[in-house]
Structure 1
Amino acid sequence: MTVGTPIAELLFQPKDATPFDTDVATVKPWSQAVSCLRSAHRCWLSTVRPDGRPHAAPVMLVLVDGAPCVASRPASRKGRNLARNPHSVLTVGGEDLDLVVEGNAHQVAGDAALRRVAAAFATKYGWTFDIRDGQVHDESLPGSPRYAFYEISPVQAFGYGADGLTATRWRFHH
């Protein structure tokens, strides 16, 4: 999936009586958020446990066709949470933008798509995966454990400027 250009708008309006800047000129372009995601070495993935409690864990992030992708073992807490409930949140702290991306995660399938995500992980982190029979494995670990790639389809995102005074919301069309 290719992530399209979202609608960018101020998060707060003057009527909200907030300390955040309400000048529309402070709205950040989505390209700045993409740069933040691309440069992040690590981010946090929040998922929902079966009983409704949140779960957060650090993950490595790659972009494939503009879509954020993460890797996890399917049997991990986050993998089991995503199998049951795709609602998730990625958070990234950048130098000029703190970013929150709310979306729905789905497991990447198909050898071609899996290979593209694996290539992105190898390029960015040097983390290599082997794709065999539609399955993702990490051959560098004992027992060649199985992994899954999850693509996060953004629903909306929030960007907070390093100045602490600007905030942008991006809304995606699906």
Structure 2
Amino acid sequence: MTVSTPAATLLFGEEDATPFSTDPATLKPWDRARACLAAAPRVWFTTVRPDGRPHTAPVLLVWADGAPCLTSRPGSRKSVNLTGNAHCVLSASDDDLDLVVEGVAAQVGDDTGIRRVADAFEEKYGWEFTVREGTVTGDARPGSPEYAFYRITPTRAFGYGADGLTATRWRFDGR
């Protein structure tokens, strides 16, 4: 599954009493936002608890099959939250972009997809997983803990330039 290329629009219009740029030439392309996420050593991941409160934690993020992917232990707060509400937010930053990506998480369940995510983790972080019949374990870790992989499908994203004056909104599939 590949994430579609979103439409980029200015976050603020002329009528807004803000200091943000309204010049379409300042729009950042989605490739720039994708690069920010892909290069980040870790990102902030926010899920929704059953009682509606947010939960945020730093996570490692990789790109596989054209989408951001992360891992979580099945019994962790992140995984439990995603079981009840798949809506989530990824946040990352680099020298010239602060990025917030809203999306929907889905557990990667097919062996081929799981293997590609595992390979991406090994390539980026040197973290090896063992994949057997849909089960992912970290055999190099004490107790060989089980993990789940999640693929995030972005629905909307916001990028803010380091200059404090530029902002881009990306909408996926008209959302």
Give deviations 1:60-110, integer Å, cap 9, x for gaps: 000113211000001000110011100000000111111100000000011
Is the 8 Å Cα contact of residues 88 and 104 (structure 2) preserved in structure 1? Answer: yes
Q: TM-score, normalised by structure 2?
A: 0.97
TM-score, normalising length: structure 1: 0.98
Structure 1 residue aligned with 2:135:
135
**How do 1:1-174 residues align onto structure 2 when only pairs under 5 Å count?**
1-173=1-173
Q: Deviations over 1:1-22 (max 9, x none)?
A: 1011100010011101111111
- SS state at 1:115 partner: helix
Q: Deviations over 1:31-64 (max 9, x none)?
A: 1001101110000000000100000000000011
Opposite residue 57 of structure 1, the aligned amino acid is A
**Does structure 2 retain, via aligned residues, the 8 Å contact 1:104–1:152?**
yes
Query: What is the alpha-carbon distance in structure 1 between the residues aligned to residue 150 and residue 26 of structure 2?
Result: 32
The separation in 1 between residues aligned to 2:14 and 2:128, in whole angstroms, is 49
Aligned pair count reads: 174
Q: Structure 2, unaligned stretches of length 5 or more?
A: none
Q: Secondary structure at the match of 1:57?
A: strand
- The secondary structure found in structure 1 opposite 2:140 is coil
Stretches (4+) displaced over 4 A = none
Do the aligned partners of 1:34 and 1:66 also contact (CA within 8 Å) in 2?
A: no
Task: State the percentage of identical aligned residues.
Answer: 63
1:14 is paired with a residue whose SS is coil
In 1: Cα distance, 2:95 partner to 2:65 partner: 23
CA distance in 2: counterparts of 1:120 and 1:162, whole angstroms: 29
Unmatched tracts of structure 1, length 5 or more: none
- CA distance in 1: counterparts of 2:55 and 2:82, whole angstroms: 11
**Partner-residue secondary structure (3-state), 1:153:** strand
Letter in 2 for 1:72: S
**In 2, distance between residues paired with 1:162 and 1:65?**
30
| 2:65–2:116 Cα contact (<8 Å) kept | no
| AA at the equivalent of 1:27 | L
Which amino acid in the other structure matches residue 5 of structure 1? T
